[in-house]
């Protein structure tokens, strides 16, 4: 492994010490590994893919009062301290800035393949068994309800509404998780997402069956 990647791993591990369990080093590690797997099937710059995967949640606005600039500042400072090339820094920062689900309405067109790969990897980790676990962990962290049959999912939320939403965790499946399969950018991503999507449908069926005790 090259030095820059190794140093980035150490930096991210230290930075994410004590993070919420769905956005901790283990999430980053899974996204990094998934990104490398998807990258094997695409023509791309793997260093940009790996650095972006490792740094993509370094300062998630959800945990920093909504501030969307901290991650960019922290990443730039780190990469400069490592004497990374300016061109590399700019490519990585562009990806960190535009990867997020809630910002998808604002993202520019013709996204670079490296972004598409890391975005698929991040979205794959949001679905399936791990996705379910992460979602309930985050809902618990926010003290949201697991489910309330009287609260409908909100399908057309603006970015601001999405950020403020404290709907139920089950509704988050309809507001985000079940939409991800059709938003995959790469063929490899689509394939992995399908299996995980089906597992979520199975989970929801069983959840409602157990909820509705008769």
Which residues in this chain contact ligand ADP in the complex, by CB under 6 A?
Answer: 22, 62, 100-102, 126, 134-135, 138-139, 144, 165, 169, 172, 176
Q: Which does 188 bind (CB under 5 to 8 A by kind): ligand ADP, Ni ion, none?
A: none
120 binds Ni ion (CB under 5 A): no
**Binding-residue total with Ni ion (CB under 5 A):** 2
57 binds Ni ion (CB under 5 A): yes
Q: Which does 100 bind (CB under 5 to 8 A by kind): ligand ADP, Ni ion, none?
A: ligand ADP
**Residue whose CB is less far from Ni ion, 16 or 148:** 16
**Residue whose CB is less far from ligand ADP, 97 or 176:** 176
122 binds Ni ion (CB under 5 A): yes
Please write down the HEC assignment for all residues of the chain. Answer: CCHHHHHHHHHHHHHCCCCCHHHCHHHHHHHHHHHHHHHCCCCCCHHHHHHHHHHCCCCCHHHCCCCCCHHHHHHHHHHHHCCCCHHHHHHHHHHHHHCCCCCCCCCCCCCCHHHHHHHHHHHHCCCHHHHHHHHHHHHHHCCCCCCCCCCCCCCCCCHHHHHHCCCCHHHHHHHCHHHHHHHCCCHHHHHHHHHHHHHHHHHHHHHHHHHCCC
**Residue whose CB is less far from Ni ion, 5 or 130:** 130
50 binds Ni ion (CB under 5 A): no
């Amino acid at each position: 492994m090259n030095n820059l990647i190794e140093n980035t791993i150490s930096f991210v591990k230290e930075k994410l010490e004590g993070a919420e369990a769905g956005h901790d080093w283990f999430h980053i590690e899974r996204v990094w590994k998934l990104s490398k797997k998807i990258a094997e099937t695409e023509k791309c710059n793997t260093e940009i893919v790996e650095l972006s995967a490792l740094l993509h949640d370094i300062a998630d606005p959800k945990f920093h009062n909504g501030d969307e600039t901290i991650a960019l500042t922290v990443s730039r400072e780190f990469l400069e301290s490592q004497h990374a090339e300016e061109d590399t820094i700019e490519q990585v920062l562009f990806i960190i800035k535009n990867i997020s689900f809630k910002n998808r309405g604002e993202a520019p067109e013709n996204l670079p393949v490296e972004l598409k790969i890391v975005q698929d990897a991040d979205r794959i980790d949001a679905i399936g068994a791990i996705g379910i676990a992460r979602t309930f962990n985050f809902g618990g962290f926010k003290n949201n309800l697991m489910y309330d049959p009287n609260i409908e999912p909100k399908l057309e939320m603006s970015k601001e509404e999405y950020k403020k939403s404290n709907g139920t965790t089950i509704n988050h499946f309809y507001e985000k998780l079940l939409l991800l399969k059709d938003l995959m950018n790469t063929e490899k991503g689509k394939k992995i997402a399908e299996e995980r999507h089906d597992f979520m449908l199975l989970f929801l069926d069983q959840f409602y069956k157990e909820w509705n005790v008769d």
